[in-house]
Amino acid sequence: MSILSPTPEAIQAAAKSIRDGKLVVIPTETVYGLAGNAMDEQAVQLIYDVKGRPNDNPLIVHVSQTEQAKAIVREWPEMAEKLAEKYWPGPLTLVLPKKPSVPDCVTGGKETVAIRIPKHPIALKVISEAGVPVAAPSANIFMALSPTKAQDIEPEIDLEVEFILDGGPCEVGLESTVLDLTQSSPQILRPGGISRAEIQAILGRPLGHVPPGSIRAPGMYPRHYAPKATVILVDKLESNMPGLTFEQSENNLQIEMPSDSKSYGVRLYGALRQLDLKQVDKIYVQRPPQSEQWEAVMDRLQKASTSLA
């Protein structure tokens, strides 16, 4: 595999690859991203092709400074300013009306663009050196588990990119929260690294609720983030079941998960991947508590356990 340590030379090379219309895998604090120049239609199309992702599923645009975000949107509401001040760089993506200069292919033909400033120092360096906004969906094949360390990148992705920059294990482990600021009431389209409570505290108002199970945006599919094995949610694991438990593990295919939601999120994809590697055909997951803190984890577990049929 072409994994490089993040030396200054490798960071420069990654930035140059992006400027030249090529793809690289970069670490972020959430998950590893498949990165290309967001303003280059061919590079963006390559991202869709490599992932096998439908073209109507918009990509998140990553920038290194708030000014760079403002330069690609038609409006920068007060709410965006407050949230950016508090949570950028960080795992919060804001959906805003796009300027015409943002290619339609990045936004899946929509008039809005999703933007964030990632917190990982290597991602920030690559983006600022590249000098262009960077489209970066998770570096996995469409619908599969997102990679949370360099070694998780599948060969299908590895073969199509210049190289993978190793930034160590991801600190958050789940994707960013996607917040739509284009509606009269702000709405979470995808729960993630920043919680509903954290956003509400900054905005001083409750966020709209989208009915569970509804497809909230193009690209929000009922099945997603799924391991190869079938995921089944249960109240408690029986001693012979492979899976994720909050209790003491009773066989070597049971993984004990942390009881706080953030640490659980950090471990989740890695734990599912570990069981996939052991080639189990079912992964039983002990249902987490039904509180708001667990919203992002529950979202991923629900999507992972939805069958395509």
Query: Which 29-68 positions form the footprint of ligand TXA (CB under 6 A)?
Result: 30-31, 33, 57-60
Q: Which of 68, 93, 107, 138 binds Mg ion (CB under 5 A)?
A: 138
- Shortest Cβ 67–Mg ion spacing (Å): 27
Question: Judged by CB under 6 A, which stretch of 28-36, 67-75, 160-168, 257-265 contacts ligand TXA?
Answer: 28-36
Q: How far is CA 196 from CA 99, 183, 266, 302, in A?
A: 28, 17, 18, 18
Residue 22 vs 116, nearer CB to ligand TXA:
116
| Number of residues in the chain | 309
- Shortest Cβ 173–Mg ion spacing (Å): 13
Q: Which of 93, 187, 195, 261 binds ligand TXA (CB under 6 A)?
A: 93
Token pair for 274: 């570990």
From ligand TXA, Mg ion, none, which one binds at residue 254 (CB under 5 to 8 Å depending on kind)? none
| Contact call for residues 122 and 167 (beta carbons, < 8 A) | yes
Contact call for residue 219 and ligand TXA (CB under 6 A)? yes
Contact call for residue 245 and Mg ion (CB under 5 A)? no
Contact call for residue 95 and ligand TXA (CB under 6 A)? yes
Token pair for 236: 């408690």
Instruction: Please write down the HEC assignment for all residues of 199-268.
Output: HHHHHCCCCECCCCCCCCCCCCCCCCCECCCEEEEECCCCCCCCEEECCCCCCCCEEECCCCHHHHHHHH
Q: How far is CA 6 from CA 3, 164, 172, 301, in A?
A: 9, 9, 19, 32
In the sheet that holds 243-245, the strands lie side by side as 230-234, 282-286, 243-245, 254-256
Contact call for residue 254 and ligand TXA (CB under 6 A)? no
Contact call for residue 138 and ligand TXA (CB under 6 A)? yes
Q: How far is CA 184 from CA 70, 110, 207, 246, in A?
A: 20, 18, 11, 40
Question: Judged by CB under 6 A, which stretch of 134-142, 161-169, 202-210, 226-234 contacts ligand TXA?
Answer: 134-142
Contact call for residue 115 and ligand TXA (CB under 6 A)? no
Contact call for residue 245 and ligand TXA (CB under 6 A)? no
3-state secondary structure of 9: helix
Contact call for residue 114 and ligand TXA (CB under 6 A)? yes
Q: Which of 119, 125, 149, 190 binds ligand TXA (CB under 6 A)?
A: 190
Task: Using DSSP bridges, classify how beta strands 33-37 and 134-135 pair: parallel, antiparallel or unpaired.
Answer: antiparallel
Contact residues toward ligand TXA (CB under 6 A) are: 28, 30-31, 33, 57-60, 91, 93, 95, 107, 110, 112-114, 118, 136-138, 175-176, 178, 189-190, 217, 219-220
